[in-house]
Amino acid sequence: MPGFGDIVKKAFYLGVGIAASAGEQAGETIGQLRSQAQKLADEMVAKGEMTTEEARRMVDDMVKQAQQQQSVEASGQTPTNNEPRRIEILTEDEETAKKPDKDVDDMRKQVEAMQEELRRLRRD
């Protein structure tokens, strides 16, 4: 029967293995992102929509953001933005506000009619 020290050692090695595997997967994801961003940037440069310097900066910024997001997710924290959150207030006009009530009334009438027809069919 393994001792307590062996169990602790195995648990530690399991944790290290999981961390290494997660790091490997994160590295692969960042590599794939860089490859896709580079292809997009190359296409935009070929079309003349941006310069090579702008494309390089765009790819670097995208990779940097992805790395920051992964490090925030790994630490379990919520990302903090320097910009305030945008809040949009929507108002309803009178017609829009009255329409759902009319729809609900119409549906109730339809349900009542169907119930009445069902009762009639059960009697026959």
Angle at Cα 54 formed by Cα 50 and Cα 59, nearest 5°? 110
Asked if residue 82 belongs to a domain, the reply is: no
**Domain containing residue 113:** 94-124
What is the model's pLDDT at position 73? Answer: 66
**CA gap 69, 65 in Å, rounded:** 6
Which tens digit of pLDDT belongs to each residue from 43-84? 888 888 878 888 888 888 888 887 777 776 666 655 555 677
Note the helical H segments in the chain: 4-47, 52-75, 94-123
Q: What is the mean pLDDT of the chain?
A: 77
59: region left, alpha or beta (phi > 0 left; psi from -120 to 50 alpha): alpha
Token duo for residue 44:
């935009």
Question: Is residue 13 pLDDT above 70, yes or no?
Answer: yes
8 and 37 together in one domain: yes
pLDDT value of position 76: 60
Same domain, 37 and 69: yes
Q: Confirm whether 89 is domain-assigned.
A: no
User: What integer is the mean pLDDT of 7-34?
Assistant: 79
- Contact present, 17 and 38 (Cβ < 8 Å): no
Q: Are residues 8 and 62 in the same domain?
A: yes
**How many domains, in total, are found in the chain?**
2
Q: Is 88 part of a structural domain of the chain?
A: no
63 inside domain: yes
Environment class of 58 (CB within 10 Å of its CB; exposed 0-12, middle 13-18, buried 19+): middle
- Residues 114, 57 share a domain: no
Domain membership flag for residue 38 = yes
Residues 12 and 59 in one domain: yes
